[in-house]
Amino acid sequence: MQKVKLGIVGCGSVTRLYFPMLRDMAQKGELMIACVCDSSEKNAREAKEYLGTRHYYLDFDEMLANETIDAVVNLTPIQLHHEFNLKAIESGRHVYTEKPIASTVSEADEIIRSAKKKGVIVTCAPPMPLHPDHVRIKSLVDKGALGKVCYARATGANPGPAWITEFTSDPTWFYKKGGGPIFDTGEYPIQLLTQILGPVKRVSAFAATTVPERVVVAGEAKGRRIRVEVFDNIQIMLDFGEGTFATVDVTYCKLSHKDSPRVELYGDRGIIYHYQRKENPIAVYRREDELGLRGWLTPEDSFWGACVPVMQMSQDPSRPFSWAEGVLHLVRCIEENRKPVLNAEFARHVLDVLVTALESAETGRAVEVKTGFDLPSA
């Protein structure tokens, strides 16, 4: 079978999360990268050379018209996602898009309708529902390890791209309308919690522009002062129904953290913590009153336990998990004609929760979430 041919649009800073593993996948024959596109000729040319593609383009419409590609990988800024996703779909291409899938729920609806009409698959980052840690946590919860989940806490917080020293391009657009942490970092905790607990029923939130001006600390725009035009600090409460709640912080006001779990799940019989950067990322607390036992444990991955630690971090154990796993997921769904985990309805629901949080913060009331989703196994 001929491998799925990809065209990539958007070759800015986010590519550092994608390109190394995409190149590795292409070299192993798991997919083909035919072309790249960016409005910056420098970015497009460097991407072409790094990935070894045949062509680079400065115009997306030209790329769609001239290339016989099967799918588009959309790595453009947030504000362009809807437009570029729709163009790719209407040209008959499958799509993997950086998050969010669009800027409004109505735009996401349009993308879903168009994809069904054209018979193409649309998938959306981030790929974390595919990560073995997340799959394992969901499995533990589904099997009743926590009993009834009562509440959860999760975080989508960092200093913001203007204050991140590894961010090399101009971050101004993150602080303009359509940007901000709600669409940048907010996707991660909402996606994780809904993957585990299902669709959100209601949202209540507080939001503010806490730091109204940012000074860029690194990269090509170092020293630039940015007037912040969006909320940079949002606190969200989620109601999953049946007495299950969650709190989420979504902010560009978290300079760092120390041993802070990315997610905490509290049930009437147990607890799960998930850490981002620890040798043992999952910690489980179990209470078994009938046995007189309670305490914390670290799940082991083989019969031999910690003596022979085994953790396959991606579909290929020779490489670490990366954002490129989401692209490979799309490729395999195309090849095998199956519904993706990172499907458009799931992405739309996450977006719905985020925009509903903004509505709640602006109106001062709890707001119902209208969308849902169906999630196949990872």
What pTM value is reported for the model? 0.90
Least confident piece of the model among 18-32, 66-80, 163-177, 281-295:
281-295
Of 3-12, 102-111, 144-153, 292-301, which range is least confident?
292-301
Whether 194 contacts 353, CB under 8 Å: yes
90, 353 contact by CB (below 8 A) = no
Q: What share of the chain is helix, strand, coil (3-state, %, to 5)?
A: 35, 25, 40
Q: Is the model's pLDDT at 160 over the cut of 90?
A: yes
- Interatomic CA distance for residues 80 and 8, integer angstroms: 14
Strands 245-251 and 149-157: parallel
Mean pLDDT (whole number) for 107-114: 98
Instruction: Give the per-residue pLDDT at 316.
Output: 56
What pLDDT does residue 275 have? 87
CA gap 209, 229 in Å, rounded: 8
How do residues 345-374 score in pLDDT, each as one tens digit? 999 999 999 999 999 999 999 999 999 999
| CA–CA gap between residue 55 and residue 45 (Å, rounded) | 9
Tokens 């019969």 belong to residue: 303
Residue 42 pLDDT: 95
CA distance 301 to 340: 26
Under the phi-then-psi rule, with left for phi > 0, alpha for psi from -120 to 50, and beta for the rest, what region is 32? beta
What is the reported pLDDT for 276? 75
For residue 124, give the nearest of 65, 183, 198, 169 by alpha carbon: 183
Residue 248 has what pLDDT? 98
Cα distance between residue 321 and residue 131, in whole Å: 7
Banded pLDDT at 251 (limits 50, 70, 90): very high
Mean pLDDT confidence for 251-269: 91
Burial 127-158 (b: 16+ CB within 10 A, else e): bbbbbbbbbbbbebbeeebbeebebbbbbbbb
The predicted structure's pLDDT at residue 166 = 85
Domains of the chain from N-terminus onward: 5-127+336-342 (3.40.50.720), 129-309+348-368 (3.30.360.10)
Is the model's pLDDT at 159 over the cut of 80?
yes
Residue 102 has pLDDT above 80, yes or no: yes
CA 184 to mean position of chain CA atoms: 9
307 pLDDT above the threshold of 60: no
- Please, which residues have CB within 8 angstroms of residue 126's CB and are 6 or more apart in sequence? 99, 187, 188, 191, 323, 326
**pLDDT of 306 over the 70 cut:** no
- C-alpha span between 375 and 316 (Å, rounded): 23
Q: How far apart are CA 51 and CA 47, in angstroms?
A: 6
Q: Where residue 318 falls among pLDDT bands split at 50, 70, 90?
A: low
Residues 238, 263: Cα–Cα separation, whole Å: 14
Q: Is the pLDDT of residue 324 over 70?
A: yes
Burial of 104: CB neighbours in 10 Å, binned 0-12, 13-18, 19+ = middle
Average pLDDT, the chain: 92
Radius of gyration of the chain, Cα coordinates, nearest whole angstrom: 21
